[in-house]
Amino acid sequence: MTSASKIKTPRISIQSLVGLTWPAVSLIVILLIISLVSSLFGTDVIQLAVIEMLVMVVVVVGLYMFIGNSGIVSFGHIVFMLLGAFCSAWLTLPVPFKHMNLPGLPPFLAEHQYNVFLAAIISGGFASVFAGVIGIVLMRLPGLAASFAMFCVLATVHIVYANWDTVTLGLSSVVGLTTYVNVWVAFGWAAVAIAVAYTYQSSHFGLALRATREDEVAAKASAINIVRQRMGAFVLSAFFVGVGGALYGHHLGVISVGTFWIEMTFITLAMLIIGGMRSLSGAVIGTTMVSIFVELLRELESGINLGGIVLTIPTYSREFGLALLMILILILRPKGMMGDKELRWPFGIGLKRRLRIRGREEE
């Protein structure tokens, strides 16, 4: 109570800069290490698994940008992945292929083949625009209604795409996508997604949105425009989920409408929930953990050789195992592995700073 009039502006030291950005930097460093190790020492199978994991990081971080900050569990966010994947496919597939198999495409798509990086950006943008349009309606709904309405949107687009076979080949697979997504492309996008997510959540906008998550009434009373803040997060997250969809397609080289439906919704949600819905670290760590878990089970399903004994588990154990894991986490540790917390700078801050902060707290 004594020195309220003398509020000192803190000087930005190296230490505080590191402390501030540590959560994002640490995650990026972890992914960097994984990428390096896998590309130097990993088998083909492992390298592919790591690329897929990094692509999923883009998607799940995108998911988190909206779900984590707004508190609305959007059950249809994969619609952006669907839109992004096909958008990139339409832009980058060779023209002869498009002529033969996708006659329904308009000329500006059918007659041209665009650069893959540009296509990724456009795909993200396409998803964002779609988000902007439906968001006008959806962001006004209360939480649970919005969750469910998102799923209705996914279902609608799914049905439309599944039937519009002159443009999507219906439920058949679209092959021939350029597999330009190597581990460094994937890592690059993952790092960007993490950086953007962290910047957003630390910014005024992110904080405002998080306030609405805790207490809508109080937020409204603080002149926070809930709809506008939600829209911002929604459009931003749609961009990254859309890009993730494009990356996914160009990683596998093959996409179909069915790829981006219930299973994908489930896996991405599981990754986010298991890691912890409310923190960026949770999103990334959850994705990593689930990817490892699923990969292990995948190996077991094909049978691994332990000194002569072959260990196998039945097919679909992967999905079963993941579902079981997710339910257990929800029961035992509903906040996920990370709880609400981000990764902290492990070496603590200096003693003098600690004392000063404590002094300020006691006033």
Binding site for other proteins (CB under 8 A): 71-73, 75, 137-138, 140-145, 147-149, 151-153, 155-157, 159-160, 163, 216-217, 262, 266, 269-270, 273, 314-317, 319-320, 322-324, 326-327, 330-331, 334
How far apart, in whole angstroms, are the C-alpha atoms of residue 318 and residue 300? 9
Strand runs (DSSP E) across 212-360, as ranges?
254-255, 304-306, 309-311
Find how far residue 253's CA is from the centre of its chain. 20
Structure tokens belonging to residue 43 = 């088998």
**Alpha helices per DSSP H over 42-77:** 44-70
CB of 101 to other proteins, least distance (A): 19
- The SS3 assignment for 182 reads coil
Residue type, 358: R
Burial classification of residue 350, based on how many CB atoms lie within 10 Å of its CB (0-12 exposed, 13-18 middle, 19 or more buried): exposed
| Cβ pair 181, 55 in contact under 8 A | yes
The burial of 2, by beta-carbon neighbours within 10 Å (0-12 exposed, 13-18 middle, 19 or more buried), is given as exposed
Distance separating alpha carbons of residues 69 and 77, to the nearest angstrom: 15
CB-count exposure of residue 30 (10 Å: 0-12, 13-18, 19+) = middle
155 vs 195, which CB is nearer to other proteins?
155
> What backbone torsions phi and psi does residue 305 show, to the nearest 5 degrees?
-100, 110
CB-wise, 71 or 176, nearer to other proteins?
A: 71
Q: Which is nearer to other proteins, 296 or 323 (CB)?
A: 323
Q: Shortest distance, CB of residue 350 to other proteins, whole angstroms?
A: 27
The count of C-alpha atoms lying within 13 angstroms of the C-alpha of 334, restricted to the half-sphere facing its C-beta, is 1
CB of 289 to other proteins, least distance (A): 16
Give the separation between CA 130 and CA 253, rounded to whole angstroms. 25
CB of 238 or CB of 270, closer to other proteins: 270
Least gap, CB of 63 to other proteins (angstroms): 13
Q: For residue 327, is it left (φ>0), alpha (ψ between -120 and 50) or beta?
A: alpha
Q: Which is nearer to other proteins, 140 or 228 (by Cβ)?
A: 140
Q: How far is the CB of 141 from other proteins (least distance, A)?
A: 5
> Which residue's CB is nearer to other proteins, number 58 or number 326?
326
131 vs 124: CA distance, rounded Å = 10
Q: Closest separation between CB of residue 203 and other proteins, Å?
A: 24
Name the minimum Å distance from CB 277 to other proteins: 8
Q: Which is nearer to other proteins, 34 or 313 (CB)?
A: 313
The Cα 183–Cα 255 span in angstroms is 19
Residue 363 Cβ, how far from other proteins at the closest point, in Å?
17
Nearest approach, Cβ of residue 285 and other proteins (Å): 18
Which CB, 299 or 319, lies closer to other proteins? Answer: 319
Nearer CB in complex with other proteins: 106/142: 142
How far apart (Å, rounded) are the C-alpha atoms in residues 157 and 257? 10
